[in-house]
Every structure is written in structure tokens, then in C-alpha cells.
Amino acid sequence: MWRKVGWIFAAVALFGVVAWAQEIKNPDTVIWVTHGPAETCDPHFSYDTASGEIIFNVYEALVRWPYGIVDADERDLSYSLDPSKLQPMLATEWWVSSDGTVYVFKIRKGVRFHYVGVKKEDGTIEWVDYDSLSPEEEKNIVPGYGELTAEDVEYSFERGMLQDRDGGPIWMLLEPLTGYPTLRALAKAALGKEVKNLHQLTPDEQKLIYEKYIDPTVEAVGDDVVVFKLPKAYPPFITILAHSGSWSSILDKEWCIDYAGCWDGKPDTWAKWWNPGGGEVAKESELFDIMNGTGPFKLAKWDIGVEVVFERFEKYWGGPAKIKYAIIKKTEEWSDRLLMFQAGDADIVTVPRQNLPQVEGLPGVVVHHMLPTLSMNPVAFFVAPVKVEGNEFIGEGPWDGLGIPPDFFADINVRKAFCMAFDYDAYIEEVLLGEGYKTHGPIPKAFDWAYYQPEEELLWEYDLEKATELMKKARNGEIWEKGFNLTILYNEGNEPRRIAAEILEANIESMNPKFQVEVRAVPWNTYLSLLVTSKLPLFIVGWLADFPDPHNFAVPFVASYGTFSGWQGEYMVENIFKPYFDELVAAGMATTDQAERAKIYYEISKRAHEFAIDIWLPQAYGVRVVRDWLQGFPFNPIFPGPYFYPMYKAYE
Amino acid sequence: MVAYIIRRLLILPLVITGLFILIFGLYSLLDPYEKAGLYVRDITELKNRDINELIEQYGLNDPPWVQFFRWVSEVLHGNLGWSEVANRPVIDAFKRFLPQTVELALWSAIPIVLGGIWLGQLSAVKQNKPIDHASRVFAVVGWSLPTYVAGLLALFIFYGIFKWLPPGRLSTDVSLYVSLSGEFKMYTGIITLDAILNWNWWVFTDAARHLILPVLVLSYVSWALIMRVTRSSMLETLRQEYIMTARAKGLPEKVVIKRHARRNALLPVATIAGLTIAFLFNGLVITETIFDLPGLGRWAAEAARQFDIPSLLGYLLFNSFLIVIANLIVDILYAVIDPRVRLE
Amino acid sequence: MTILKKLLRNPLGLTGMVLIIFFGVVAILAPVLAPPKWPHQPYRIPRYGWSAEPKPPSREHPFGLASGQYDIFYGCVWGTRTAWFVSLVVVGLAAAIGITLGSVGAFFGGWLDELVMRITDIFYAFPFLAAAMTLASILGYGVWSAIIALVAFGWMGYARLIRSEVLRIREMDYVQAARALGVPTYRIILRHVLPNAIWPVFVQITMNMGSIVITFAALSFLGVGIPQGYADWGQMISYARDWIIGLRGNPLAYWYTFIFPGGAITLFCLAWNLVGDALRDILDPRLRGRITV
């Protein structure tokens, strides 16, 4: 009886495997299962990766990065992050003045947006799907309505700068173009008074700000030329304009004003559209869930947190894509994603690194290994001194061996000892499954032009004996004598951070029985609130690139005003970041000469190492898991997610 | 009777006010920085923004009652707030997630009720026989299984190995057809129902196929609840004199149970309707997460984890309404059926 | 005594009792079965590496190693203590609160009763799981925050049950007589009412012992509750969460990660439910038609 059942099982399984190997499921649709809901479709509001993934496939920018194709058997990683290798997209040619302050772009002709304005018999304008128009009907398109012009480019950047939502990405446009990080700061300088709520600006004030500071920065000249004027050189500016970040997307001015109800383009009305939803309520911006780009795909459906469906733009200027649909499916549960992928119901799957063994070697599955990444995540930061009031993590009263002294990490011996107490090789082998590299400062390896492979002695080595010696020396032996009790927190759900903390815990505790380390998880919001109030003696967070330039990493990690370095306590800021780093960071921006800049960033890394300001944890290489029938998957580490245009499904 | 119903209805706002105060009390345990942290998704957002500005912008430093009344007055103006986890207004999120939950709950209710009653009756009639023990163990094992282990195992067997019953709501091609073709009209958002209204067999079978596993899992973990009540009330009924009389008259056991015992034994089962719904909603939280169904339960789980106050309040509001009203209906029906209740 | 005898004569009740005793023995003998690596922190599960991929049973680790290389055997053995501790504390506190509120309300009646019952209604209307999650995540990680959350939303059943019992008993002749004789109210409650109302509560307690452990595990699954590496069955299963679907070539590759802790939870809960069911059958004449969940 049971044998019979066994045979039936085997037959069913075999049948399943055979059927599964031959048939390509959904041949004209590429499906990516991943997790994390997107916040918005508005390119000027979006500052999260998930929103970027959508915008990336629908909107286009002036220039784009070269990308290599990673296919089943063959990997052409001819991508580059070198700005001199940028390719034309909506601009066909461009020039930069020798002092780096003027950028001129020639705009591509004959490009149409997904939706175009057509004049109806009664004289009103109706927005219709460009694909649905016959050649005859195309003649009714109102000039400029859904047609790319230099004016559209100017409008797009101005709309972005004037919208400047709190906590959004627009600092990347405002800082190089106006010299001020936010519109508020600009208004303060322009009006000579502090205005917190720009909605209260009078029309005259708005006009002054627009005409004097915003309008001159980007100007359309004739039909097809756009000129950007910067107050001073900003070497990474061209990388900010490149297709990858959403903020440089090109919108259609007429559609934005006429259909979507965005800023009407007048100099004295813009305040109404400033900071929609207080920077938080994404729906308040007009482009929250509607899109009209020039890219290869139209947004067909956005079911927030469930799925995004793209439909091919048949009349794309570069020729239509090979696939008809692309779908981003959101599924939080890894097991579900794995099962869908195994069954062929998904072509690309986001795999937590620790679960890679479950997909490795599956029939019909290809894993792309060792892809360069543009992030420093995680890094462990030392804080000195921590805030004392209301801080439950440093113990009570004068330090007696319970808790830690507030300036625990002000002693360089302690910082160095912690760096040496981390088992880098074990982390790479067991957590990153061999796919990681050691770091020695804030600049990731993917910046090949700015990254020097350091000498061996510039990498921290795991050496408990030396660490013990250093701890004995620290604070003239007081720490070794009294011991301490340190709490390391991480935000719950973040596995690499947890394991990094646990490795530290095990090694530090093994040095001296009086050394106690506790690792604890807290929700993200609590974690954040402790970070910004400098209550954590040691925190672990990470940084992803906004635009591919080492400057984007130097500032948050080592500038005294940086996001992370600013939280590392007064001692670190005053005694380390201000005297040793601020000048270097400024110098990195003062020149456009790449060789010169490379040297500066190397010096930054070297100092970051010598002062042991952080524990530079090993960084993971990227991994991509796809079905073997998926061809033409482009690669560049700055991409927010898959770019579906070159993809198709076939066995070759 | 009418007075009774009115009295019950008057209690409703009281209960809901209590709920608000309770959940807001919980929220007040967070300090202003922790509250502000709820608005920051990504560390990059803090690059040009001071967290103190957020605290000021949302008045997070105000006394709890000020924050409470501010929220209540917003609600009274029809604004339930912004759901951070669903990334849309709470009302929209609610509308988006409700159909899935209703669909799953309705389809599950059928096997839960029928199966539970059947099992309970079976084991009562065969009291202390092997079949009684077997069916009780069967139901209690389901009750004792962690839902997510049962769910993941079921998915693994039926989808992973046999490829029959996938997670999610619809297959890709069906989903594209439903949302993009323009031929399929959405009346209710409940796919199985819409498929019937559109007279589309293809969509219906696909939707039903996706529902089988979650419904099975949800039923299996819930059967013990109804089975127990049915069993003990059935046992009690079977001991009543009129049953004895019926038996003594020589009526076949089947007839005795079907005609005489069952109807009376089912009365107490109706009283736990509220409890069943509450239990079902607990089960939905995990089932929807496991089977990747965009419903209220999954939303609530995420909201509770991230402490998204407007979403949680919206969910609680709905849930408590549902439970209170279910209990109310049951009580009224009961009062209609059983005169003794009215006299109390 | 007769109750116990009847319980042991019932095959299901007997099975339940045997299982309960088994879990009791495991809990008591935990230090012998799995000697702790850190004697002052016995609930911290020892780990043997950092890798996320589980490792199958071996001589040193009879149940294998879970994701994160936690020893599953150790976690299951000490997890038994956690299960006992959590369920006893939660049920004890919830019953104490429920009994106090319910009996006081029922005995004094009037507005006090109304108030108590309305508070009960409010708590009942809460979606239990979402509410417990919320509270636990606000209180932070730790066994106690989860316990408090479960107690806060778990006492109402006792209050309702005891109230109806008290209402029933209060009307009985001997209680009426005691009242007429001027016996103080608290003595009537303690001496006459509660002892008579206690059996249904007892049945409810046995039923709850198991479900508490399940809910506790559900909290672990949803990401709140117990700190990492703490010996707890729910925690052990949540380590298995991403590994339940094995490898394609070997679908059951990681069976040991969820079979052992999952089995422990299921059996523990099953045992209490069987005993509760059997008890209810035995006490049936007094419990007719009463609903205990």
C-alpha cells in the first residue's frame, strides 16, 4: 500500500519537475517579488528606495549611467560610476564649463510623454494615452502638451526646488544650485528674517525668491537647450542629474499644470505647493499616485503595499520594450517569496542573505554573486560623551563598574580595543557567507576611481590579545580594574546589526569576567529617538548612496555637521571631526580633478582608521537571484532596483 | 424589548470612548522623541531636518489629553488620519483592506460553523466512545497548533510540493485581466463575489483556489471553539426529559437527534457568535500575513508593530463595532427566542 | 479526590495528566538535562557559531542547531520552564483580577456592577492579538512586558464567569440566610460564594494554560515579546520561520527547527486542554451549558 503511494508521489514529483523545466511561465511579463511598500510616485517627494524603484522605470533624466548586463551564464559588468562615462538619455549632448559652474544640455527632439493633450471639438484639452492614438489622431496633439521641450526641463527642476518637502531629497538640487540646503534657509537669507512656514510668504516675497534665486539657476534657451548655473563648482552635480535618483526626473510642464494641478509656473504663487503634507503625508502632493513620464513603461496600477504593475509604452523613443508587463509584488514573508519563486510565479526574488542556501543550486535558478554595492551598512559608531540625564544605558551615579562612564569611548585605547575585538573573518564567512570585504573608512569599494585598496596594516585585524592589552591601558587601568556593563541596541528585525552586536558581546565578555555586554532589540522609532539624543554609547546604523560620489559618504560619517558624526557626542565632534576632518571634506569639493579628489578621500579613510572613530564592519557584496529564463537584466550598483527595459524571457 | 435594545445601543458609544482612552493611554507612554521617530522612515530623512521640528509640527510635546482631543475632533470631522504603514488615509486603507478580510471571514465562517457543529454533535452522540475521543483530539490539536506553523506547513505541502494552491489573492494572468482589461467590473471588491456577478468562471475558480488553504487553516485552528459548546449543550439536551420520552416512544436515534435535540442544542452556540468573531479576527492577523492576503489583519499586525496610532485606532474602532454589534444582534435574537431573558 | 480518580479513568484526561507531569519533570530537571553554560543566566541559550543556516541533529546537539546556531535541545528544555512560568503567572494574575472585579461587582450590584461590566465590555471589544502586541511593544522587550500585555487583555473571561456564578449562588438559601444573620459581606464572599464558584473557574484556568503559551508564541512570530536568545518555545519556532520551506532537493531539510519546539507547544497546550475537557465532563452537572474558552 505505502509503496504504491510512494510511486504515485514520485510520478507526480517527476511530472512536476519535467513540466517545470520546459515551460516559461508568463512569457511576456517579468515579476519581481520583494518587500517594503513604496511611499509615493512623486519624483520630488520620493526619498525611499521602494518609491525610487517605480519612478526609475517610468520617468527619465537628462543622462544615464552605463549598465552592464548580467545574464544566466555571462556577466558583462561594464557599468561605471565614473561621471565621464555618462550616456545620453533625454539630453543628446552636454558641456561643462572649465570652472565647473555652468552646465549646458541639448534636449532630445521628438520625445513624447505617456499621456498627451488633444484638442477636442469644443476647444477643451483632453489628456489621452499616447499609445491609443492613431497616426491620424496624433495630428490633434496640442504642441507642447506631452511633448518634451527645454521648458519642461526647466519646470521640472524648479518645481522640485519649490516643493522642497521636509526630510525629502531636494537638498541635492538646492545645495549645488543655490548654495542653501533648504528653501527655508534660502528664504531666510533672501528676506533677512526667519520664516518657518513658507505658506505665509506674501506674493512679493515669493516673487523675490523665485526671480532672484530659483529661476536663474536653470534656464531654457530656445526649444532644445537648457543651462544650469551654479554659484560655485559642485563636482558631483552631474551624478545628481543622472537617471537613478528620482529627483532629476523630467516631467511634462503642461500635464503637471493642466492635468495634475501642480505649481502653475508663476513666480508669485509657488508657496501654496511648498512642503505638501508637512513633508509626511505623501498623498498631499499632486503626483502621489499619477505618473506621466517618457520612460519605457507606463504605470498601469499601483496597489500600495501589494503590487505595482507597469505596462509597456509602445511608442517609447528608444523602441518598445520586449516584455509587455513588469510587476513588482510586495510580500513580506520570505517563505511565500521563496515558494512563488520556486514555482516560477516570480522571475526575480529578493532573498535575505542568510537564506541564500535555500536558493543556491536550485534547478532553473541563477544566482549572481559578488556584485559591487554602494552602501556602508552596517557600521558601528562610538559616542563620547553620551547624554547622562534620563539615560538608562549608562548606569547610576558615579561609575562603579556597573554601567559605563559617559565618556567611555573618549579613550582611544577603548575604541581601538573594540575594533580589535570584532571577528571580521567570522562575520564575512558566517554572516555574509564569504561574500564581503573589509573596510577601512567611509568610502565603499564600488567607487573604483576614489577607492585605494589599502595596505594590510590599514585594516583592523581581529586580535583579542592586543585588545586585552589596550583595555588594560585604558583610563590608567581603571576600566580593567572595575569592569563595565555596556548595552548595545539595534533596531529589531535587522539581522546583520544584531549579529554584529552579538559577536562584539561574545568577544568583549571573554576578555574579562567584569566586562558585561548586553544586546537588546528596540523598535525603530525608539532606536531613532535614542540616537538623536546621543543616549546610546555605541550605535549601529548604515548609509546608502544618494548619488555615486564619495562626498555623499564622507559628510555623514566624518564631517562635524554630518548625520551620524553629529550624533557621536561633543568630545568626538570637537576633538576629532572638527580639527581633522572638516577641512578635508571641504577640500574634496573644491576641485573637479579626479586624481586630486581620490587622494583626499584616501586621506579621510586613513584618518578615520587611525582615530578609530567607528568600527568599520565588513560590507556585503550584492546578490541577485533570478530564473534562468530571464535575460538582459542590467546592472549598475547605483540603480535603486531592476530596470525592466532590456529584459525578456527566453532560453538561449 | 425596545427599551432593552435602546439600552444596549446607548452603551455602544461608551464602550468606544473607553477604547479610545485606553489606546491613547498606551500611546502616551512613549516620550515625544519616540513619537517623532514614528514619522521618520529612513535615516536619510534626518539629513536636513531636526527631529525637534517634527515634535513641534505635530504637537507631540502637548499634554496627552490635548493630543487626545485634537485627534477626537479630527475624527468627528470625518478625518481618521494618515496611516503610515499603509501609506494612505486610514479611511482609504480601510476600504482597500476590508473586502479581503470579509471574503476570507465569510468563506471561513461556513466550514468553521458547520464543521464545529458537526464535530460537536458527533462526539456528544458517541460520548466516551473512540470516535468521541478521536474527534475531540482532532479539534484540540488544531486549537493547540501555532497558526503560523500550520499555515506554513500547509503552504509548503500544497504549493511547494504539489503546486496546487498558491499564496496571494489571484494568479498573475488573472490579476492582470481583472485590473487592466476593463472587462471585469469591481462591484464589491470581494473577488469571488465579483466573479459571480461578472459571470466569470475563470476568475472565480482562480480566486477560490487561492482561498482554500487559508480557509482550511483558519477553520482547523478554530473548530475546537464551536465544537466544545455544541458538545456540552448537546449532552445536556440529550439528558432532557422530552428526549427520553422521544426515545422511549421508540423513535430511531437519528430522528431524535435531528428533529428534537439539535435545534435546542444549537441555541447556546449562537451566544458565542461574538466570541467566534473575535477569535476569527485574531486568526486573520496571522493567516493573512502567512498567505500574503492584503486584509485588515495584516494591516493591523504591521500597525501594531510600528505603533501607527491612526491605523490602530481605525482598526480598533472597526473591530469593536463589529464585536459589539454582533453581540447585540445575538442578544436581541436570543431575547426574541427565549422569553426568560426578557424577564431578567 | 473522586474528581482526580474520575479524571485518571478518562483516557483523554489520563493522557493529558501524563503529559503535564512529563512537562513538569522536564521543567524541574532542566539544570540536569541541559546544564547551563552561564549559571547566572540559565535562560540564555548557548550558541555555537554565527551562521544563519540551521544544522541537523548530531551527538553534541541532539535536536540540532537553530538559525543563529542556537542549541535547540537546550532551548526546548529551558523553554519548558519559561512556558510554565509564563502560563502560571499570566493565568494566576488574570484570574485574580477577573475574580476580584467580577465577584465584587456581582455581589454589590448596582452602579458598581454596571461599571465593572462596561469595563469588561471595553476590554472584550479589543482585538486581543493586536492589543497585546501594541502593549508589549510599548513596554519593550522582555518576558514581563509580554506577560503584562497578556494579563491586561486576558482577565475578562474570569470576571464574566465569576459574576454569573456569584449571581446564581447569591440567590441560594444559605447565602440569603447568612446575610439575614448579618455576616459581613466580605466573609460571605470569601467563605460561601467563592468556594462554590471556583470549579468553573478552575476549568477555565486549565483551558487557558495552554492557549497562553500559543499566544505568547504568536507574539514572538509577530516580532514582539521575548529578547533574542532567550529559551522559549515561541522564540525557537520563530527562528525556524524562514526555514520551514526547506530546499527544493530536500523539502524537509530543516524539519528539526520547527518539529521540536512546535511539538512541545502543541503537546503542552493539548495536555491542558484534554485535562480541562475531561474535568468539565466530570463536573458537568454544575457546568451545564456554560461556555469556557
pLDDT in tens, B95-150: 999 999 999 999 998 999 899 999 998 988 888 889 988 998 899 899 888 888 88
Within this chain, do residues A305 and A345 fall inside the same structural domain, yes or no? yes
Give the residue from chain A lying closest to B306, CA to CA. A523
Same domain, A357 and A456: no
CATH of the domain at B187: 1.10.3720.10
Q: Which three cell numbers stand for residue A116?
A: 498627451
CA distance B150 to B165: 15
State whether A383 and A511 are in the same domain.
Answer: yes
The total domain count for chain B is 2
Examine the pLDDT at A530 and tell me if it is beyond 70: yes
Q: What residue of A is the nearest CA neighbor of B182? A: A300
Instruction: Tell the burial category of B187 from Cβ atoms under 10 Å away from its Cβ (0-12, 13-18, 19+).
Output: exposed
Q: Are residues B63 and B97 in the same domain?
A: no
- The DSSP letter of residue C139 is H
Q: How far is CA B153 from CA A613, B283, C241, C258, in A?
A: 47, 16, 11, 10
φ and ψ at residue A626, rounded to 5 degrees: -135, 165
- Is pLDDT of A614 > 70? yes
B302 assigned to some structural domain: yes
Residue pLDDT, tens place only, A328-384: 999 988 988 998 998 889 999 999 988 998 898 888 899 998 898 999 989 999 998
C134/B11 touch (CB, cutoff 8 Å), yes or no: no
* Inter-residue contact A643 to A635 (CB < 8 Å): no
Rounded to two decimals, the ipTM of the complex is 0.85
Q: Is A396 exposed, middle or buried (0-12, 13-18, 19+ CB in 10 A)?
A: exposed
CB B174 within 8 A of CB B203: yes
Mean pLDDT of C81-94: 95
Query: Where does the pLDDT of residue B318 fall: very low under 50, low under 70, confident under 90, or very high at 90 and above?
Result: confident
Average per-residue pLDDT in chain A?
90
Q: Are residues A116 and A144 in the same domain?
A: yes
Distance CA A77, CA B92 (A): 44
Touching C: which chains, 3+ CB pairs < 8 A?
A: A, B
Q: What count of residues does chain C have?
A: 293
At residue A43 the predicted structure's pLDDT band, cuts being 50, 70 and 90, is very high
Cβ separation C130–B149 shorter than 8 A: no
Mutate to test the interface with C, among B38, B221, B232 (most CBs of C within 10 A): B232
Residue of C53, B218, B75, C225 lying closest to A357 (CA atoms) = C53
Instruction: For residue B96, give the chain A residue with the closest CA.
Output: A303
Task: Tell me: do B128 and B268 sit in the same domain.
Answer: yes
A597 and A633 in a single domain? The answer is: no
Using CB atoms within 10 Å of the CB of residue B343, give its burial: 0 to 12 exposed, 13 to 18 middle, 19+ buried: exposed
Whether residues C244 and A355 touch (CB distance < 8 A) is answered with: no
- Taking CA atoms, B38 is separated from A7, A61, A165, A538, B84, in Å, by 56, 33, 18, 22, 9
Q: Residue B338: which pLDDT band, with cuts at 50, 70 and 90? A: low
- Which among C234, C200, C266, C246 has a CA at the least distance from the CA of C82? C234
Chain B residue with CA closest to A331: the answer is B292
Do C235 and C75 form a contact (C-beta atoms < 8 A)?
yes
Yes or no, beta carbons of A37 and B88 under 8 Å apart: no
Residue A408 pLDDT level (bands cut at 50, 70, 90): very high
**C246 neighbourhood in chain A, CB within 8 Å:** 358
A479: three-class secondary structure by DSSP: helix
Instruction: Say what the pLDDT of residue C291 is.
Output: 42
Calculate mean pLDDT across residues B286-314. 85
Task: Supply the DSSP string of A584-629, one letter for each residue.
Answer: HHHHHHH---HHHHHHHHHHHHHHHHHTT-EE---EEPEEEEEETT
Residue B69 to residue B59: CA distance in whole angstroms: 12
Residue A72 confidence (pLDDT): 62
Q: Is C42 helix (H, G, I), strand (E, B) or coil?
A: coil
Which residues does C32 contact at the CB level (< 8 Å), separation at least 6?
A: none
Given this model, what pLDDT does residue C289 score?
42
Residue B332: per-residue pLDDT: 76
Cell numbers for C26, please give them. Answer: 522536564
Residue tagged 538646492 (cell numbers):
A174
Whether the per-residue pLDDT at B343 is higher than 50: the answer is no
Q: Is there a single domain that holds both residue B261 and residue B305?
A: yes
Decide if A536 touches B, using CB distance below 8 A.
Answer: no
Residue-level pLDDT at A496: 87
Average pLDDT over chain B, rounded to an integer: 83
Residue B101 domain-assigned? yes
Based on the fold, state whether residues B209 and B312 are members of the same structural domain: yes
What was the pLDDT predicted at B78?
77
**Partners of chain B (3+ Cβ pairs below 8 A):** A, C
- What percent of chain C stands above pLDDT 90? 34
Domain match, B25 and B68 both = yes
Of B29, B275, B278, the CB nearest to C138: B29
Mean pLDDT of A72-90: 84
Q: Do A334 and A397 lie in a common domain?
A: no
Residue A124 scores a pLDDT above 60: yes
Q: Does B223 share its domain with B131?
A: yes
Q: Give the Cα separation of B288 and B300 in Å (integer).
A: 10
Flag if A283 and B82 touch (Cβ within 8 Å). Answer: yes
Nearest to B128 by CA among B223, B225, B231, B221: B231
Residue A24 in any domain: the answer is: no
Residue A357 near chain C (CB below 8 Å): yes
Q: Which residue of B lies nearest to A341 if distances are taken between CA atoms?
A: B160
Residue B342 belongs to a domain: no
What does the pLDDT read at residue A218? 97
Backbone φ, ψ for residue A20 (5° rounding): -75, -30
Same-domain check for residues B55 and B34 = yes
Confidence (pLDDT) at A17: 45
B60 domain residue, yes or no: yes
For C113-124, how does the pLDDT look when each residue is reduced to its tens digit (9 = 90+)? 888 888 888 888
What was the pLDDT predicted at B30?
Answer: 82
Higher pLDDT, A7 or B210: B210
Least trusted range by pLDDT, from A530-534, A632-636, B309-313:
B309-313
Q: Which residue of C has its CA nearest to B223?
A: C293
User: Which pLDDT belongs to residue A249?
Assistant: 97
> Between B and C, how many CB-CB pairs are < 8 A?
168
Does A347 lie in the same domain as A389?
A: no
User: For the residues C95-121, what does the mean pLDDT come to?
Assistant: 87
Which chain B residue is nearest to residue C149, measuring alpha carbons? B26
Q: What is the full DSSP assignment across A296-358?
A: SEEEEEEETTTEEEEEE-TT-TT---SSSEEEEEE---HHHHHHHHHTTS-SEE---GGGGGG
C window 179-218, beta carbon within 8 A of B = 210-211, 214, 217-218
Per-residue pLDDT averaged across C228-256, rounded? 83
In a domain, B137, yes or no: yes
Shared domain check, B25 and B145: no
Is the model's pLDDT at B54 over the cut of 70? Answer: yes
Write the residue in B146, B271, B282 that is nearest to C127 by C-beta.
Answer: B282
Q: How confident is the model at residue B340 (pLDDT cuts 50, 70, 90)?
A: low
A231 has a chain B CB within 8 A of its CB: no
* A38 interaction partners in chain B (CB closer than 8 Å): 87
The last residue of a domain, from among B45, B70, B88: B88
End of a domain among A202, A236, A269?
Answer: A269
pLDDT at residue A18, as a whole number: 45
pLDDT score, position B339: 54
Residues of C in contact with A335 (CB under 8 A): 241-242, 244-245
- What integer is the mean pLDDT of A606-616? 93
The answer on B167 and B60 residing in a single domain is no
Question: A304 and B168 in contact by Cβ < 8 A?
Answer: no
Domain that holds residue A53: 29-79+292-372+622-649
Residue A528 is assigned to a structural domain of this protein? yes
Whether residue A488 lies inside any domain: the answer is yes
- C1 has pLDDT over 50: yes
Query: Per-residue pLDDT for B47 more than 80?
Result: no
A590 and A552 in a common domain: yes
Contact with chain B for residue A333, Cβ under 8 A: yes
Asked if B155 contacts B213 with a C-beta cutoff of 8 angstroms, the reply is yes
Single out the residue in B29, B55, B88 at which a domain terminates: B88
Closest residue of chain A to C225, computed from CA coordinates: A521
User: What is the rounded CA–CA span in Å between residue A33 and residue C153?
Assistant: 37
| HSE-up of residue B278 (Cα within 13 Å, Cβ side) | 25
Look at residues A436, A430, A420 and name the one whose alpha carbon lies nearest to residue A369.
A436
| Cα–Cα dist A37/A324, whole Å | 23
Number of other CB atoms surrounding residue A2 within 10 Å: 6
Q: Does residue B95 share a domain with residue B79?
A: no
Angle of helix B296-306 relative to helix C128-139, nearest 10 degrees, comes to: 20
User: What's the pLDDT at B8?
Assistant: 72
pLDDT class of A523 with cuts at 50, 70, 90: confident
Contacting A residues, span 361-380, partner chain C, CB-CB under 8 Å: 361-363
User: Which residues of C touch chain A, with CB atoms under 8 Å apart?
Assistant: 49-53, 67-68, 137, 140-141, 223, 227-229, 241-249
Does residue A334 sit in the same domain as residue A475? no
Please check the confidence at residue C138 and state whether its pLDDT lies above 80.
no
Identify whether residues A363 and A390 lie together within a single domain.
no
Question: Do the chains contact at A495 and C50, CB–CB below 8 Å?
Answer: no
Residues of chain B neighbouring A194 (CB-CB closer than 8 A):
none
In this prediction, residues A119-142 reach a mean pLDDT of: 92
Residue A354 and residue C53: Cβ atoms within 8 Å?
Answer: yes
CA dihedral C90, C96, C99, C100 (to 10 degrees): -140
Q: Indicate if B100 and B80 belong to the same structural domain.
A: no
Confidence of residue A54 (pLDDT cuts 50, 70, 90): very high
Q: What is the DSSP string of C78-120?
A: HHHHHHHHHHHHHHHHHHHHHHHHHHHHHHH-HHHHHHHHHHH
Distance from the C137 Cα atom to the nearest Cα atom in chain B, whole angstroms:
7
A462 touches chain C (CB under 8 A): no
pLDDT band at A398 (very low <50, low <70, confident <90, very high): low
Query: Which candidate from A279, A306, A529 shows the least CB-CB separation from B37?
Result: A529
pLDDT in the model for residue C285: 54
Contact B19 C122 (CB under 8 A): yes
Q: Which structural domain, as residue segments, surrounds residue B120? A: 91-337
C124 strand-pairing partners: none
pLDDT given at position C287: 46
DSSP assignment of C202-229 equals: HHHHHHHHHHHHHHHHHHHHTT-SSPTT
Please state which of the ranges A80-84, A587-591, B309-313, B334-338 shows the lowest mean pLDDT. Answer: B334-338
Chain B residue with CA closest to A334: the answer is: B290
Distance from CA of B304 to the nearest CA of C (A): 5
Question: Do residues C277 and B136 make contact, with C-beta atoms less than 8 angstroms apart?
Answer: yes
Give yes or no for a contact between A206 and A267, defined as CB atoms under 8 angstroms apart: yes
Tell me the residue length of chain A.
652
pLDDT digits (tens, 9 = 90+) for B138-184: 998 998 888 888 888 888 888 877 878 888 888 888 999 998 888 89
Residues A320 and A296 in one domain: yes
CATH number at residue A163: 3.90.76.10
Among residues of chain A, what percentage have pLDDT more than 90?
66
Picking from C53, C141, C242, the nearest residue to A520 by CB comes out as: C141
Residue A459 corresponds to which cell in the numbers above? Answer: 585594516
Separation in Å, CA of A461 to nearest CA in chain C: 19
Give this prediction's pTM: 0.89
**CATH number of A576's domain:** 3.10.105.10
Residue that the C-alpha cell 510580500 belongs to: A331
Percent of chain A scoring above 70 in pLDDT: 96
Is residue B344 domain-resident? Answer: no
Judgement on whether residues B48 and B148 belong to the same structural domain of the protein? no
Three-point CA angle A505, A508, A509, nearest 5°: 80
Question: Do residues A90 and A171 both lie within one domain?
Answer: yes
C119 vs C101: CA distance, rounded Å: 10
Task: Give the C-alpha separation, A421 to A511, whole Å.
Answer: 9
Question: What average pLDDT does the segment A162-171 reach?
Answer: 92
Average pLDDT on B81-104 reads 89
Alpha carbon distance A328, A50 (integer Å)? 10
Residue B128: what pLDDT? 81
C126 touches chain B (CB under 8 A): yes
Q: Cβ contact (<8 Å) for A304 and B87?
A: yes
Q: Is the pLDDT of residue B195 over 90?
A: yes
* Residue of A621, A620, A622, A626 whose CA lies nearest to A367: A626
C292, pLDDT greater than 70: no
User: How many structural domains does chain A have?
Assistant: 3
In this predicted structure, what is the pLDDT of residue C63?
94
- Is there a contact between B179 and A16 if contact means CB atoms under 8 Å apart? no
Is residue B18 over pLDDT 50?
yes
The torsion angles phi and psi of B314, rounded to 5 degrees, stand at -60, -45
Determine, for residues C289 and B232 on separate chains, whether the beta-carbon distance falls below 8 Å.
yes
Among residues B88, B109, B134, the one where a domain terminates is B88
Distance of alpha carbon B325 from alpha carbon B319, whole angstroms: 10
β-sheet bridge partners, residue A489: A520
